[in-house]
Amino acid sequence: MPRYASFCAFLYMVIIMSTGHAQDEEGFSGRAGLGYIAANGNSENRSLNANFSSWWNYDPWSHSLSGLVIKSSASNTTTAEAYGLAWQSNYAINGTDYLYGIIALDKDHFSTYTQQTREAIGYGRRFINLANHLLDSEIGVGIRQATLRNDQDQDEAILRLSGDYRWIVSETSEFAQTLVLEGGSKNIYLEMVSTLSANVRENLALVISYTIRNNTDVLPGTEKTDIFTAISLEYIF
């Protein structure tokens, strides 16, 4: 997937946290964003992006569902087309420890890996639980089924590590840093997302993000690292 410039896409973040920890509260909550950007002149650029995240929390269970669509074109030529869907369920052992299971599907027509499906189970722990600082970390094992652009299949077992840090800067703003590492014998996938969100109204947030994605094993002529910089306006419910 090619690199995006600022304001060229409304990118879904693996985890976007809203002020007030809505996803940690009992019951149902979520957020959704939709963006369209067009530029005309020496060249024509179009970008259509949609994303959502939702949470169901009923102690001791919590569930999350997230998805995204990214489509971009320049001078009537498609330059990016990606889709993603992920479900995670957590079972609380106590106030800090939990077990989790996750299944995720990603499609990217401009990546070495045109499709990847991952299923993993593991253990998570909240290491920091302060008023303004939260830190969760997870470790797990699973399997990954991938289809490369050359139609080759690549299936392997993976070790999954992840971390999620949140800093509540103020009553209306928050910084989040997430990290996901999925390692197998054929490929190691890394994703880091830095997010700054600010509520402009009670249910409306301005979100700026910086994302790095890296695959260690790619086809010739394909970049190992993709970098995304994005700004979005999202509705919180």
> What is the number of structural domains in the chain?
1
d(CA 97, CA 99): 7
Please report whether residue 143 resides in a domain: yes
Cβ neighbours, 10 Å, residue 116: 22
pLDDT tens by residue, 165-175: 999 999 889 99
d(CA 143, CA 154): 11
Please report whether residue 223 resides in a domain: yes
The pLDDT of residue 141 is above 90: yes
pLDDT tens by residue, 25-53: 789 999 888 777 676 655 577 777 788 89
Q: Which residue from 140, 3, 172 is spatially nearest to 74, judged by alpha carbons?
A: 3
Q: Give the CATH number, domain containing residue 128.
A: 2.40.160.40
Please report whether residue 136 resides in a domain: yes
pTM of the shown model: 0.81
Please report whether residue 14 resides in a domain: no
Please report whether residue 41 resides in a domain: yes
Please report whether residue 26 resides in a domain: yes
The pLDDT of residue 164 is above 90: yes
d(CA 151, CA 75): 28
Mean pLDDT rounded to a whole number for the chain: 83
Q: Average pLDDT for residues 118-137, to the nearest whole number?
A: 95
pLDDT tens by residue, 48-93: 778 889 999 999 999 999 988 888 888 888 888 888 899 999 999 9
Domain that holds residue 224: 22-236
Please report whether residue 13 resides in a domain: no
pLDDT at residue 99 in the model: 98
d(CA 164, CA 4): 24
Please report whether residue 11 resides in a domain: no
